[in-house]
Amino acid sequence: MGKGDDQEGVVAGGFFWSYTDEPHASRRRQILSKYPQIKQLFGPDHCAFFKISGVVLLQLATGILLKDAGWLKICLVAYFFGSFMNHNLFLAIHELSHNLAFSTPSLNRWLGIFANLPIGVPMSVTFQKYHLEHHRFQGVDGVDMDIPSLTEVHLVKNVVAKTIWVFLQLFFYALRPLFLKPKPPGCWEFVNFSIQIGLDISMVYFFGWKSLAYLILSTFLGGGMHPMAGHFISEHYVFNPDQETYSYYGPLNYLTWHVGYHNEHHDFPRIPGNKLHLVKEIAPEFYDSLSCYRSWSQVIYMYIMDRTIGPFSRMKRKSSKAE
């Protein structure tokens, strides 16, 4: 791999560039050609509604129980418990963006709005719009909003800056598409916003500001310097120049809808998280040779401490299809 804007490889101080298609569509065809039985894994997870409902009710109940608690207790519970619950719900919304709870898309949207409630900030409908583009146009410059902006690349260049970036990465993740590629809101965004703000106001009115603060703290603490937030970095940040998507095969998959099986997910986005491990079991020769992770915390540490890694460590490509 060479260097330069017109060659495949690393641009000095910039992104990796690829002049080939993203790898998942071709690998999907190869796997289905050899193992057509994988199609039997397609379809919704019929337990998703019950799993999401349990977490939503548990998290809202925890917020209510903390209505008179001290701020130290609220912060500790938010980091060591609530952050895991809300990040679980964020990844449930990711699952629902692929219509993996019900066969009817509108039912998935309604469940996504319900899963959004403890997160405190309306995001489920907007997330789906941008996330599906991330799959369809992975790495495409100006289209895939999962890729950091040039401003992030220019500002985040050392250990201190990367540490701050990790703490605030959820803000960058949420606000980046709104600034770089804003989309006009539709009816579903209005519904999402209205229901979410109604829940937030109700929490404050009936139980006080501390209950709402707990929910929002849980969201942003869980999206920053937190083990579960390591998936934001591990999924597509290029630690190996020959690979742009990475899977994680560690225990936190059980709390994160198995989003760690990320190569498998991009290869087969119609398979629910609880069955993605079966893809690797059926077709191990397609995955065993790929670089992977066992610890998301280690990924965060490597990202911060390795001076050759930063927001620029992403694969980008140009494509007239996305224009």
For residue 9, being part of any structural domain is answered with no
- pLDDT at position 36 is 97
Question: Is 8 part of any domain?
Answer: no
User: Residue 323's pLDDT is what?
Assistant: 45
4 located within any domain: no
- 12 located within any domain: no
**Distance between CA atoms of residues 296 and 289, nearest Å:** 20
322 within domain boundaries: no
Q: What is the pLDDT along the chain (323 residues), one digit of tens a residue?
A: 333 333 455 443 478 998 888 999 999 999 999 999 999 999 999 999 999 999 999 999 999 999 999 999 999 999 999 999 999 999 999 999 999 999 999 999 999 999 999 999 999 999 999 999 999 999 999 999 999 999 999 999 999 999 999 999 999 999 999 999 999 999 999 999 999 999 999 999 999 999 999 999 999 999 999 999 999 999 999 998 889 999 999 999 999 999 999 999 999 999 999 999 999 999 999 999 999 999 999 999 999 999 999 999 999 998 755 44
* pLDDT attached to residue 18: 87
Main-chain dihedrals φ then ψ at residue 226, nearest 5 degrees: -145, 140
Return the pLDDT at 320.
58
Token pair listed for 25: 């569509």
Q: Is 13 inside any structural domain?
A: no
Measured torsion, CA atoms of residues 280, 281, 283, 287, in degrees rounded to the nearest 10:
40
Q: What pTM was computed for the model?
A: 0.92
Axis crossing angle, helix 124-136 with helix 83-97, rounded to the nearest 10 = 60
Paired strand residues for 17: 9, 316
Count up the domains in the chain and report the number. 1
Residues 6 or more apart in contact with residue 316 via CB below 8 angstroms: 15, 16, 17, 18, 139, 140, 141, 147
Task: List the domain range (segments joined by +) for residue 114.
Answer: 22-316
